[in-house]
Amino acid sequence: RKEVEQDPGPFNVPEGATVAFNCTYSNSASQSFFWYRQDCRKEPKLLMSVYSSGNEDGRFTAQLNRASQYISLLIRDSKLSDSATYLCVVGGYIPTFGRGTSLIVHP
Does position 46 bind other proteins by CB under 8 A? yes
Which of 12, 31, 53, 65 touches other proteins by CB under 8 A? 31
Does position 87 bind other proteins by CB under 8 A? yes
Does position 43 bind other proteins by CB under 8 A? yes
* Angstrom distance (rounded) from CA 98 to CA 3: 8
Site for other proteins (CB under 8 A): how many residues? 22
Q: Return the number of other C-beta atoms located less than 10 Å from residue 42's C-beta.
A: 10
Does position 54 bind other proteins by CB under 8 A? no
Distance from CA of residue 69 to its chain's centroid? 14
- Calculate the alpha carbon distances from 29 to 84, 90, 92, 97 in Å: 29, 11, 9, 16
Does position 86 bind other proteins by CB under 8 A? no
**Residue ranges binding other proteins (CB under 8 A):** 31-32, 34, 38, 41-46, 49, 87, 91-100
